[in-house]
Amino acid sequence: MTIDEVKRILVIGAGTMCHQIGFLCALHGYDGVLYDVLPEILETVPGKLSRLADQFIHRGRLEAGEKTAVLNRFTFTGLPETAGADVDIVTESVPEDPRLKGKIFSQFNQLRPEHTIFTTNTSTLVPSMFADATGRPDRFLAFHFHDILHADVVDVMPHPEPPLNLLRSSVISPDGSIKPSSFWKKKILAM
Protein backbone atom coordinates (compact mmCIF):
# COMPACT_ATOMS: atom_id res chain seq x y z
CA MET A 1 0.00 0.00 0.00
CA THR A 2 1.21 3.49 -0.80
CA ILE A 3 0.37 6.74 0.90
CA ASP A 4 -2.07 7.79 -1.80
CA GLU A 5 -4.03 4.54 -1.46
CA VAL A 6 -5.06 5.36 2.12
CA LYS A 7 -8.62 6.70 2.01
CA ARG A 8 -10.55 5.46 5.07
CA ILE A 9 -9.52 5.16 8.70
CA LEU A 10 -11.12 3.33 11.61
CA VAL A 11 -10.43 4.76 15.06
CA ILE A 12 -11.21 2.31 17.86
CA GLY A 13 -12.22 4.02 21.08
CA ALA A 14 -13.96 7.36 21.48
CA GLY A 15 -12.01 8.85 24.37
CA THR A 16 -9.84 11.96 24.29
CA MET A 17 -7.06 10.72 22.02
CA CYS A 18 -9.39 8.79 19.71
CA HIS A 19 -11.62 11.70 18.91
CA GLN A 20 -8.54 13.92 18.45
CA ILE A 21 -7.02 11.39 16.04
CA GLY A 22 -10.31 11.10 14.18
CA PHE A 23 -10.60 14.88 13.98
CA LEU A 24 -7.05 15.24 12.68
CA CYS A 25 -7.69 12.61 10.00
CA ALA A 26 -10.92 14.34 8.95
CA LEU A 27 -9.20 17.72 8.95
CA HIS A 28 -6.82 16.39 6.32
CA GLY A 29 -9.45 14.87 4.08
CA TYR A 30 -9.81 11.29 5.28
CA ASP A 31 -13.15 9.61 5.73
CA GLY A 32 -13.65 7.18 8.53
CA VAL A 33 -15.46 5.95 11.55
CA LEU A 34 -15.05 6.18 15.31
CA TYR A 35 -15.99 2.93 17.07
CA ASP A 36 -16.67 2.39 20.76
CA VAL A 37 -18.52 -0.28 22.71
CA LEU A 38 -20.18 2.30 24.98
CA PRO A 39 -23.10 4.12 23.32
CA GLU A 40 -23.07 6.82 26.00
CA ILE A 41 -19.47 7.67 25.08
CA LEU A 42 -20.25 7.76 21.35
CA GLU A 43 -23.11 10.18 22.01
CA THR A 44 -20.66 12.71 23.46
CA VAL A 45 -18.22 12.64 20.54
CA PRO A 46 -19.99 14.97 18.06
CA GLY A 47 -20.08 17.76 20.66
CA LYS A 48 -16.42 17.18 21.57
CA LEU A 49 -15.43 17.27 17.89
CA SER A 50 -17.37 20.49 17.37
CA ARG A 51 -15.60 22.13 20.32
CA LEU A 52 -12.25 20.84 19.03
CA ALA A 53 -13.01 22.33 15.61
CA ASP A 54 -13.84 25.65 17.29
CA GLN A 55 -10.43 25.57 19.02
CA PHE A 56 -8.74 24.96 15.66
CA ILE A 57 -10.70 27.86 14.15
CA HIS A 58 -9.69 30.10 17.07
CA ARG A 59 -6.02 29.13 16.55
CA GLY A 60 -6.22 29.78 12.80
CA ARG A 61 -5.76 26.12 11.86
CA LEU A 62 -9.23 25.67 10.33
CA GLU A 63 -11.44 28.03 8.36
CA ALA A 64 -14.88 28.49 9.95
CA GLY A 65 -16.57 27.67 6.65
CA GLU A 66 -14.85 24.26 6.53
CA LYS A 67 -16.02 23.09 9.96
CA THR A 68 -19.15 21.23 8.84
CA ALA A 69 -17.36 19.42 6.01
CA VAL A 70 -14.60 18.27 8.36
CA LEU A 71 -17.06 17.08 11.00
CA ASN A 72 -19.11 15.17 8.41
CA ARG A 73 -16.15 13.06 7.26
CA PHE A 74 -16.44 10.70 10.23
CA THR A 75 -19.34 8.57 11.39
CA PHE A 76 -19.82 6.85 14.75
CA THR A 77 -20.86 3.30 15.56
CA GLY A 78 -20.89 0.64 18.23
CA LEU A 79 -21.24 -2.17 15.67
CA PRO A 80 -17.88 -3.86 15.00
CA GLU A 81 -19.21 -5.64 11.90
CA THR A 82 -19.85 -2.35 10.11
CA ALA A 83 -17.20 -0.15 11.74
CA GLY A 84 -15.01 1.09 8.95
CA ALA A 85 -15.82 -1.31 6.15
CA ASP A 86 -13.11 -1.05 3.51
CA VAL A 87 -10.74 0.78 5.84
CA ASP A 88 -7.08 1.10 5.03
CA ILE A 89 -5.83 1.88 8.53
CA VAL A 90 -7.16 0.80 11.92
CA THR A 91 -5.84 2.68 14.92
CA GLU A 92 -6.76 2.21 18.56
CA SER A 93 -6.47 4.17 21.76
CA VAL A 94 -8.08 1.90 24.32
CA PRO A 95 -6.81 1.43 27.91
CA GLU A 96 -3.18 0.33 28.25
CA ASP A 97 -3.86 -3.37 28.75
CA PRO A 98 -2.04 -5.68 26.31
CA ARG A 99 -4.73 -8.37 26.64
CA LEU A 100 -7.50 -5.89 25.84
CA LYS A 101 -5.58 -4.46 22.88
CA GLY A 102 -4.83 -7.96 21.62
CA LYS A 103 -8.48 -8.99 21.96
CA ILE A 104 -9.68 -5.93 20.05
CA PHE A 105 -7.13 -6.35 17.27
CA SER A 106 -7.94 -10.06 16.98
CA GLN A 107 -11.64 -9.23 16.63
CA PHE A 108 -11.06 -6.57 13.99
CA ASN A 109 -8.54 -8.71 12.12
CA GLN A 110 -11.46 -10.97 11.24
CA LEU A 111 -13.55 -8.03 10.01
CA ARG A 112 -11.08 -5.90 8.01
CA PRO A 113 -9.70 -6.28 4.48
CA GLU A 114 -6.37 -8.08 4.08
CA HIS A 115 -4.50 -4.91 3.06
CA THR A 116 -5.48 -2.98 6.22
CA ILE A 117 -2.61 -1.74 8.37
CA PHE A 118 -3.18 -1.80 12.13
CA THR A 119 -1.69 0.80 14.45
CA THR A 120 -1.79 1.42 18.16
CA ASN A 121 -1.52 4.72 20.00
CA THR A 122 0.08 3.08 23.03
CA SER A 123 2.38 5.25 25.07
CA THR A 124 3.42 2.78 27.76
CA LEU A 125 3.42 -0.65 26.12
CA VAL A 126 5.84 -2.30 23.69
CA PRO A 127 3.96 -3.11 20.44
CA SER A 128 5.44 -6.61 20.28
CA MET A 129 3.42 -7.44 23.44
CA PHE A 130 0.28 -7.79 21.31
CA ALA A 131 1.52 -7.79 17.69
CA ASP A 132 0.76 -11.49 17.18
CA ALA A 133 -2.80 -11.01 18.44
CA THR A 134 -3.45 -8.67 15.52
CA GLY A 135 -3.22 -11.61 13.13
CA ARG A 136 -1.12 -9.37 10.90
CA PRO A 137 2.11 -8.54 12.74
CA ASP A 138 3.67 -7.79 9.37
CA ARG A 139 1.18 -4.90 8.98
CA PHE A 140 1.27 -3.51 12.50
CA LEU A 141 2.99 -0.40 13.90
CA ALA A 142 2.68 1.89 16.87
CA PHE A 143 1.75 5.44 15.88
CA HIS A 144 1.75 7.40 19.11
CA PHE A 145 -0.05 10.71 18.64
CA HIS A 146 0.69 13.60 20.95
CA ASP A 147 -1.98 16.10 22.00
CA ILE A 148 -2.95 17.65 18.66
CA LEU A 149 -3.71 21.03 20.18
CA HIS A 150 -0.16 21.43 21.39
CA ALA A 151 2.05 19.55 18.94
CA ASP A 152 1.85 18.13 15.43
CA VAL A 153 3.89 15.09 16.41
CA VAL A 154 3.39 11.37 15.99
CA ASP A 155 6.02 8.83 17.00
CA VAL A 156 6.31 5.83 14.63
CA MET A 157 7.49 2.78 16.55
CA PRO A 158 7.99 -0.52 14.74
CA HIS A 159 8.45 -3.88 16.41
CA PRO A 160 10.61 -6.75 15.12
CA GLU A 161 7.98 -8.08 12.67
CA PRO A 162 7.07 -5.35 10.16
CA PRO A 163 9.02 -5.66 6.94
CA LEU A 164 10.89 -2.64 5.66
CA ASN A 165 8.29 -2.05 2.94
CA LEU A 166 5.60 -1.42 5.58
CA LEU A 167 7.81 1.15 7.25
CA ARG A 168 8.52 2.68 3.87
CA SER A 169 4.82 2.77 3.01
CA SER A 170 4.29 4.90 6.09
CA VAL A 171 7.14 7.29 5.30
CA ILE A 172 7.48 7.38 1.50
CA SER A 173 6.46 10.55 -0.29
CA PRO A 174 4.59 10.60 -3.63
CA ASP A 175 7.83 11.36 -5.49
CA GLY A 176 9.35 8.15 -4.07
CA SER A 177 11.75 9.77 -1.63
CA ILE A 178 11.80 8.53 1.93
CA LYS A 179 11.20 11.13 4.60
CA PRO A 180 10.69 10.43 8.32
CA SER A 181 6.98 10.29 9.11
CA SER A 182 6.12 11.92 5.77
CA PHE A 183 2.80 10.03 5.62
CA TRP A 184 1.52 11.65 8.78
CA LYS A 185 3.30 14.95 8.27
CA LYS A 186 2.09 15.32 4.69
CA LYS A 187 -1.34 13.74 4.88
CA ILE A 188 -2.49 14.36 8.44
CA LEU A 189 -0.24 16.65 10.42
CA ALA A 190 0.95 19.23 7.91
CA MET A 191 -1.18 22.35 7.73
pTM of the model: 0.82
The mean pLDDT of 180-185, rounded to a whole number, is 42
CATH hierarchy code of domain 3-189: 3.40.50.720
Phi and psi based region of residue 60 (left: phi greater than 0; alpha: psi -120 to 50; beta: remaining): left
Per-residue pLDDT, 47: 96
Q: Are the C-beta atoms of 3 and 174 separated by less than 8 Å?
A: yes
CA angle, 20 then 67 then 52, to 5°? 30
pLDDT digits (tens, 9 = 90+) for 48-96: 999 999 999 999 999 999 999 999 999 999 999 888 688 999 999 999 8
pLDDT digits (tens, 9 = 90+) for 86-143: 899 999 999 989 999 999 999 998 888 888 888 898 878 888 888 888 888 888 888 8
* Sequence ranges of the domains in the chain: 3-189
